[in-house]
Amino acid sequence: MPRKRSLLTVDDIRGAWAIIPTPAKEGAESWKMEDTVDVEESARVVDALIKAGIDGILSMGTLGECATLTWDEKQKFMAAIVESAAGRVPVFVGTTTQGTRETIQQTKVAADIGADGTMLGLPNWCPPRLGPVLSFYRDVAEACPNMAICVYANPGVFRFDFPPPFWAQMASIPQVVAAKYGTIARLLIDLEVSRQRIRLLPVESEYYGAARIDPEFCTAFWSSAAVCGPEVITALRDEIVAAKKTGDWRKAKELHSQIGATYPTFFPNGSFEEFSAYNIALEKARMTAAGWMKTGPARPPYHVAPESYLEGARRAGQAWAELARKYSTKEGRVAGGHR
């Protein structure tokens, strides 16, 4: 049985968090395939990330293909990664569905499996509005008191802006300890209204900016590129910790710039909106090109993307892998990945 852990608090959400795909077996791009999860690779990747120094695992969001996995597949994947983590770092799994009751049922099963929390987005069959959204999170928290919640705050996916009044209300729910956060343009306001009770995690490419805005509270971030080579994001974490102590931000800023330089070809024609339409296929193309893990194909219907977009994603993955090799050698780190 997986080891049970006490309810996480905001103080437990620190450092570099990897958001991982759900590895697929060959042939998973076909609707005819019924058992698509590569359980062995799922377990291997989590173990390798932890050994590389990652501080937490987020899973089964958009690129984790929560929307296209069957319920049986979700349970197999959750069990594999929870068992592999073995309590060494917190593990959050996605249990977002189109209704409160089904979400609660899946979240309860995830808790029984041993997950520490859920990365929870929104039902969005109908365009979300603040009242129903607040009711949704409150109901899930009440029904699943032993599960921490990381709000999956993706405006593009859920058609909801996650405005300051949302964060003000979320701060009153004890289980809500973190958020997979978007752009940091509104970070100061959202930190203020949430009274620093929720760890807002920016993507690694914006973590430097967040840490400069609020060095004391912005102590964690997420990265899907972690599975392109975790050496880069653990180095970013460590450089920013060092900069906060010394006041010298030059090395952290340099790494921030190097990370940014891997991204231009990842967004088709420079458009994040266009990227979002093909997110899963592009993320998996980037990860495959980097060579750190075996992602397998994307599941239908999100396995289709223009070849020119996929080629840009591959170039981004190759650029990240090169940066990871640099920091692996520079820091004496040992890569734990597939390559």
- Mention every residue, 6+ apart, whose C-beta is less than 8 A from residue 149: 117, 118, 120, 137, 140, 141, 173, 175, 176, 177, 178
Q: Where do we find the tokens 């990330």?
A: 49
How many CA atoms, within 13 angstroms, populate the side-chain half-sphere of residue 214? 19
Instruction: Identify residue 95 by its one-letter amino acid code.
Output: T
Contact 174, 136 (CB under 8 A): no
Of 103, 145, 150, nearest to 124 (Cα)? 103
H/E element, 179: strand 176-180
How many CA atoms, within 13 angstroms, populate the side-chain half-sphere of residue 170? 32
DSSP letter string, 40-82: HHHHHHHHHHHHTT--EEEESSTTTTTTTS-HHHHHHHHHHHH
Round to whole Å and give the CA distance between 83 and 91: 10
Of 339, 116, 313, nearest to 225 (Cα)? 313
Catalytic residue among 4, 51, 74, 180: 180
| 180 is a catalytic site residue | yes
Q: How many Cβ atoms from other residues are within 10 Å of residue 46's Cβ?
A: 25
Q: Which two tokens stand for residue 22?
A: 């759900």
Report the relative pairing of strands 220-223 and 148-152 from DSSP bridges: unpaired
Q: Which two tokens stand for residue 267?
A: 């967004």
Catalytically active residues are 180
